[in-house]
Amino acid sequence: MEQNDKQDTYMPMTSIKSGKLTQVAEHVHCFTNQIVNLYFVGQAENWVLVDAGMPKSYNKIMEQAETLFGENTKPKALILTHGHFDHVGTAEELVEKWNIPVFAHPLELPFLTGEESYSYPDPSVEGGMVAKISDLFPEEPIYLDGNISPLPEDGTVPGMPGWKWLHTPGHTPGHVSFFRESDKTLLAGDAFITVKQDELLKVVMQTKEVNGPPRYYTPDWDASEISVQKLAAIHPKAAGTGHGIPMFGDELTAGLQKLVRNFKTIAVPDYGKYVEGQAKDE
Ligand SMILES: [Zn+2]
Ligand SMILES: [Zn+2]
C-alpha cells in the first residue's frame, strides 16, 4: 500500500524488500499495522509476537510472519505490552488459529479476560484528532481466559531468551516494556511513543519525537512519569514503541532525556478528566 511505501524513507535499517518491516535490532522487526506497531522477535522456528495489532489483521500479520520466517510459520507465544484494543485487536483470532499461549502482566489480566474494562477513553483531553475520535474505540473486552498466563515473576520473557520484562505502569496498570541488555534494545509499548500526539493517526507524515504515552487513554500520569524515568535510566540504544517509528542512538537518548526533564509540559495534557484539578464528571 502507498502508506507503507512512503514509510521507507524513515527506515534506517530495512533488511526486508517488502518495505513493510523495519529492523529495530538483531532478530527484532517492527510491523506497522494501521496506527499501531507490533513486533516479531526471534528467528525461524523460535519467534514470538509482541502485541497483536488492530482487529481483523490476521492475514496481514501472517503475511509479514511468512516473509520473515517462511511459510506456515507460527510463533511460540504472543506477549502483550498491555491490553488496549489497538494492541490486542487480533489476539483472539491469532490464539484460535495458532493455538499459542499468551502472556501479560498479572495486573493486566483482568482486562484480557473480560473481568474488567479500562476507563472509557477521555475524548475531552488535550491532544488533537486522536482524542476526538477516541469515542469510536470499542468498549467490548476481549476474552483470552484459557490461553493467557502471567509473565514469570523472575522477569524472564517466555520465548524471548536474553530479554527481561519491566513493569512500566501509568498508561495502564499492568503495562510492561521489554529490554534486551546485550544490545540495549527496548520495546516500550505505550510507556512512551515516538510520534507527536496529534499526529498519531497520520501514518504517512509522522513527525518523529519522543513523547509521553497516548493521552486519550492514560489515567495515571504520576506512575507514567516514573515509568519513563525508569526506561531512560536503562539507556536504551534502540527503541520500538507502540506508535511511531523506531528510534536509535543519540536521537533516542536526547529525546528521552528531554521527556524526563519536561514530562509535565511534554506529556501531561493541560486539561482532561485524568488531570488533577481539571476533573470532569461524566
Ligand atoms: Zn495503549
Ligand atoms: Zn497504543
- Neighbouring CB atoms inside 10 A of 153's CB total 7
Residues sharing a CB contact under 8 Å with residue 223, sequence separation 6 or more, in sequence order: 169, 170
Residue 257 CA, chain-centre distance (Å), reads: 20
Report helix, strand or coil for 47.
strand
**Residue 106: left (phi > 0), alpha (psi -120 to 50), or beta?**
alpha
The three cell numbers of residue 207 are 513527525
- Per-residue pLDDT for 33 more than 70? yes
Element (H, E) at 24: strand 21-25
Ligand that lies nearest to the alpha carbon of residue 121, given by its number in the listed order: 1
Q: Which three cell numbers stand for residue 206?
A: 509522522
Tell me the CA distances in angstroms from 17 to 4, 14, 67, 122, 246, one per residue in order. Answer: 12, 8, 9, 39, 18
Mean pLDDT of 73-94: 95
C-alpha of residue 70 to centroid of ligand 1, in Å: 30
Q: What is the pLDDT of residue 217?
A: 79
- Residue 61 CA to ligand 1 center (angstroms) comes to 19
How many A from CA of 73 to the centre of ligand 2?
Answer: 26
Q: How far apart are alpha carbons 196 and 176 in whole angstroms? A: 21
Bridge-partner residues for 176, per DSSP? 167
| pLDDT of residue 41 exceeding 60 | yes
Amino acid 271: pLDDT? 78
Say which range, 9-13, 57-61, 162-166, 277-281, has the weakest mean pLDDT.
Answer: 9-13
Greater confidence (206 vs 96) lies with 96
Report how far residue 227's alpha carbon sits from residue 186's, in angstroms, rounded to the nearest whole number.
Answer: 13
Centre of ligand 1 from the C-alpha of residue 214, in Å: 7
Q: Identify the band that residue 9 occupies on the pLDDT scale cut at 50, 70 and 90.
A: very low
The torsion angles phi and psi of 150, rounded to 5 degrees, stand at -70, 150
Q: Has residue 182 got a pLDDT over 80?
A: yes
Ligand 1 centroid to 111 CA: how many Å?
A: 12
Confidence of residue 35 (pLDDT cuts 50, 70, 90): confident
